[in-house]
Amino acid sequence: MSSRKKRQGPSVASYVGLVRFYEEIDEKIKLPPYIILLLTYLTVVMVLISRILIKP
């Protein structure tokens, strides 16, 4: 027999618990990528327009 102890990883039940935990966390607001890009472009345009209209 080997003098080393057998290493046992976490049980399947703990993996299932972690999966459930992360599924609960991931249920936040999910936006498609094109909406995020659209909001980014609109923000840039609004900043540029405001810089043109509001001169110091």
Segment 28-51, tens digit of pLDDT: 677 899 999 999 999 999 999 999
DSSP state of 26: T
**Residue 22 in domain:** no
* Domain total in the chain: 1
The CA-based angle 17-23-24, given to 5 degrees, is: 95
Is the residue at 2 inside a domain? no
Confidence of residue 3 (pLDDT cuts 50, 70, 90): low
The model's pLDDT over 6-23, given as tens digits with 9 standing for 90+, comes to 666 666 656 566 666 665
Model confidence, pTM = 0.47
Indicate whether 44 belongs to any domain: yes
What residue numbers bound the domain in which 47 lies?
Answer: 29-56
Tell me how far apart the alpha carbons of residues 9 and 15 are, in angstroms, rounded to a whole number: 10
34 is a domain residue: yes
- Tell me what pLDDT residue 39 has: 96
